[in-house]
Structure 1
Amino acid sequence: MIRWTIAVFEFKRFLKWKQELMSIGFMLLTFAVMSAWPHIKGFIDKDYRVAIVTAAQLPEVEGFVFSKLDAAALEGAKAELGERWDLLVNSSGGSLAITGTQSASWHEKLTSQLQRWYQQQQISALPLTGEQRQVIDTLPEVNFSFTKEQTGDEQERKVRKVVSMVFLGLLIMGYFASFGLMFTAITGEKQQRVTEQLLTLVSAREWIDGKVIGISLFSLKTILTYGVMALLLIQGAAMISGKGGLSLPLGVLDMLGMLLFLGLGLLMLNTFLAGFAATIDDPNHSGRSMVMLLPGVLMGLVFAVMDNIEGQLMQVLSWLPLTSFAAMPMRIAAGEVAWWELLGSLGLLAAFVVWLANASARVFELGIRMYGKEPGWGDIASAVFNRRG
């Protein structure tokens, strides 16, 4: 009961309801604006008027209206720049001569489109046979064949890859949020000398368990909040590009498995942070603070191999408890994972979290009672492996 009291205190300590409501309101407003952006853009933006000296078919570029112009009328049209025309393009003479009133950001987009259009006109003017023109205009056909059944089409695989990247990014964000909260909470309490009073009310194990659970819940809340925000932004981006809404190609069991690994991963990370933070006496001068960044290196290793999620290295990382909390959810998001792999990896991770909780509690009790100096590495190793000296 005391553990949950501390956990609720730690959770409420960092939870600001007004800030949360403002974040949710901003998130909903952003999604609404992104959903309506194609209509807003079409209403506000004007189509730029471009006159081209050409005998060929006019190009088609969204946001631009093209008109043919005689070469003799080009000089006279320059007087109408800025009023009737936004740009004048002379495509005679083997190059593109573009005249405008002043430089603008939309020139770059139009220039690349005009270059491709003019290149096609030049190719069409070459004395080529019909077969030669077809070879130039047509990319070689590529046909994939697979010996195993695929989990989905190309669009689904792209969405799954995006989900994997977003998950790992949110996990890293949650870790660094936990790092800051746990580090300042424990080292601050040690510097303020409130540990003696707290240890007369609760045991060191109840204290660390409450902190780990409370801050893990807060980190999970942060990850879920930003996860929903990322999903809405992706949906909004899809709507802006005209692709319509995107649906997550993940089932309920997939989402549940990812959440289980996420929850256990946060517990493991915060357990390590809480135990080691207690061994730091002065955070401003201690060189041990860098050790607390080691889990970030492990997540960086998973990030380094995410371009080959089906590879053997990712499979190994998805079984190791130190990396499985990040690697296995990425495999789940990328495709199907056998049930025995999921349960086996989850069991190893849960067992490691239990062992780490006991070891971290001993290190926490060792460090939280010390003032003026930090425990040696030998003392920490003895506490981790429960060796009585």
Structure 2
Amino acid sequence: MKLWTIAVFEFQRYFKWKQELITVAILAAFLVFSALWPVVKTWLDNDYKIALVSQAAAPKVSGYSFSQIPADSAETALSGVGDVWDLVVQVQDNKLVMTAQSSASWQDKLTPELQSWLQKQRIGELPLTTEQKEIVDNLPDTELVFLKKDSVQQNKEQKLVSGGLLLLMVVGVFSGFGFMFTAITTEKQQRVTEQLLTLISSKEWIDGKILGISLFCLKSMITTGLFFYIMLQAISMMKGKGFFVLPISPSELASALIFVSLGLLIINSFMAGFAATIDDPNHSSRSIIMFLPSVPLGIVFSAMDNAEGTLMHILSLFPLTSFAAMPMRMATVSVPWWEWVLSLVLLIACLFWLKNAASRVFELGIRMYGKEPEWSLLLKTFLFARVKE
């Protein structure tokens, strides 16, 4: 009961309902605005009027209205730049001459389109046969044949899901780093340890901190994920592609939630234990060790481009990396059920071992003021010794 009380306190310490409701309201307003934006944009946008001095067919570019005029009317068109025409385009000695009243960003989009248009005109004037022109104009065809009909192709959407999961894990890890480090070192510097240890045991204290801050980190990940999901919906609707559906099934999403939650508990267990050994965070050289939990994420990131490879298999089973590797692997390839179960069992076993080890280190460090435990004692306590009450 005391454990849950501490967990709720640590969670509510950073969770503010008013702030969360304001965030949700802003996201909802942004989503509504994104849905209406294509209509507003179509209503407000005016096509730029382009006078093309050429007999060749004008290119079709969205947002630009081309009018072809004869060469003898070029001077008249030039005199109307800024009033009648936004741009006058002439071809002189196989070179594009574009006349505008002033420089503008919309010209950067139009220039490559006109260059491609002129290049096609010049290729068409070359003494090439029909077959040669087709070779110049068209890229060779390609065909990709899959021998396994049920194989999963790592397409752009799947890569998006994998990258998004990794980004959310980074958010969770560094949220835990900031909150855990601040909470423990502040309590230690303010000398509230003695009062707390008269009311609760050190094990209840660290377990409550780990659980409460892990819940808040998970909340931060979900909030960030929701924000990016709404952003994807907004971009999709702005482009007129409709509702965007992530290529991830509910079972894969639930699996990712399980692995990520256990991973946060492991990482925050390490951080809680080690943060207690730091006496002064402003001068301690040990603070850099708190960044070690980010190393597994970097390793998984380096291997995620080959989800079928041996390295990714190993990382998805090794408990210190499986919390990140298994969700990303499941987002791209089909994982055998026995590998999923084995990975989960190893992850849970690692969590219990690391939590107990972190509890011993926490109890050692939280009682020490004015100095930090020696590395040899720290290692011995982490691996073997149990501190007496």
Correspondence 1:168-317 to 2 at 5 A: 168-317=166-315
Change (3 A) 1:87 1:150: farther
One-letter amino acid of the counterpart of residue 224, structure 1: I
* Count of aligned residue pairs for this structure pair: 387
Q: Give the secondary-structure state (helix, strand or coil) at the position aligned to 1:282.
A: coil
Confirm or deny: 8 A CA contact 1:273 1:292 kept in the other structure.
yes
Confirm or deny: 8 A CA contact 1:382 1:388 kept in the other structure.
no
| CA-CA distance at 1:151 after TM superposition | 4.8
Q: Which residue of 2 aligns with 1:70?
A: 70
Note the alpha carbon deviations across 1:311-367, whole angstroms, 9 max, x for none.
221111111111111111000111211111111111111100000000000000000
Q: Distance in 2 between matches of 1:249 and 1:152?
A: 11
| CA-CA distance at 1:92 after TM superposition | 3.6
Confirm or deny: 8 A CA contact 2:161 2:247 kept in the other structure.
no
Q: Distance in 2 between matches of 1:228 and 1:329?
A: 18
Confirm or deny: 8 A CA contact 1:54 1:92 kept in the other structure.
no
Structure 2 residue 372 is the aligned partner of structure 1 residue 374 = yes
One-letter amino acid of the counterpart of residue 283, structure 2: H
Change (3 A) 1:83 1:152: farther
Q: Distance in 1 between matches of 2:151 and 2:226?
A: 24
Confirm or deny: 8 A CA contact 2:211 2:265 kept in the other structure.
yes
Change (3 A) 1:6 1:312: same
Confirm or deny: 8 A CA contact 2:171 2:221 kept in the other structure.
yes
Correspondence 1:108-187 to 2 at 5 A: 108-151=108-151, 157-187=155-185
| CA-CA distance at 1:216 after TM superposition | 0.5
One-letter amino acid of the counterpart of residue 35, structure 1: A
Q: Which residue of 1 aligns with 2:61?
A: 61
Note the alpha carbon deviations across 1:23-77, whole angstroms, 9 max, x for none.
1111112222222222121112211000011111110000000001222211222
Uncovered stretches (5+) of structure 2, i.e. residues with no partner = none
Uncovered stretches (5+) of structure 1, i.e. residues with no partner = none
Note the alpha carbon deviations across 1:86-145, whole angstroms, 9 max, x for none.
000002420100010110111111001111111111111111111111111221110001
One-letter amino acid of the counterpart of residue 27, structure 2: M
Structure 2 residue 35 is the aligned partner of structure 1 residue 35 = yes
Correspondence 1:16-55 to 2 at 5 A: 16-55=16-55
Q: Distance in 1 between matches of 2:92 and 2:33?
A: 44
Q: Which moved more, 1:93-102 or 1:238-247?
A: 238-247
One-letter amino acid of the counterpart of residue 377, structure 1: W
| CA-CA distance at 1:295 after TM superposition | 1.1
Confirm or deny: 8 A CA contact 2:50 2:88 kept in the other structure.
yes
Q: Which residue of 2 aligns with 1:321?
A: 319
Confirm or deny: 8 A CA contact 1:53 1:92 kept in the other structure.
no
Q: Give the secondary-structure state (helix, strand or coil) at the position aligned to 1:50.
A: strand
Confirm or deny: 8 A CA contact 1:14 1:218 kept in the other structure.
yes
Change (3 A) 1:238 1:151: farther
Q: Which residue of 1 aligns with 2:348?
A: 350
One-letter amino acid of the counterpart of residue 175, structure 1: V
Q: Which residue of 2 aligns with 1:104?
A: 104
Q: Which residue of 1 aligns with 2:2?
A: 2
1:339 to 312, 337, 340: 337
Q: Distance in 1 between matches of 2:144 and 2:319?
A: 36
One-letter amino acid of the counterpart of residue 128, structure 1: L
Q: Give the secondary-structure state (helix, strand or coil) at the position aligned to 2:357.
A: helix
Change (3 A) 1:362 1:153: closer
Q: Which residue of 2 aligns with 1:14?
A: 14
Confirm or deny: 8 A CA contact 2:152 2:334 kept in the other structure.
no
Q: Distance in 2 between matches of 1:95 and 1:152?
A: 48
| CA-CA distance at 1:246 after TM superposition | 1.9
Q: Which residue of 1 aligns with 2:89?
A: 89
Confirm or deny: 8 A CA contact 2:360 2:386 kept in the other structure.
no
Confirm or deny: 8 A CA contact 1:38 1:240 kept in the other structure.
yes
| CA-CA distance at 1:153 after TM superposition | 6.6
| CA-CA distance at 1:249 after TM superposition | 2.2
Ranges of 4+ aligned residues in structure 1 off by more than 3 Å: 150-154
Q: Distance in 2 between matches of 1:113 and 1:19?
A: 47
| CA-CA distance at 1:388 after TM superposition | 6.0
One-letter amino acid of the counterpart of residue 252, structure 1: P
Q: Distance in 2 between matches of 1:69 and 1:322?
A: 69
Q: Distance in 2 between matches of 1:295 and 1:309?
A: 22
TM-score, normalized by length of structure 1?
0.97
Q: Distance in 2 between matches of 1:168 and 1:281?
A: 32
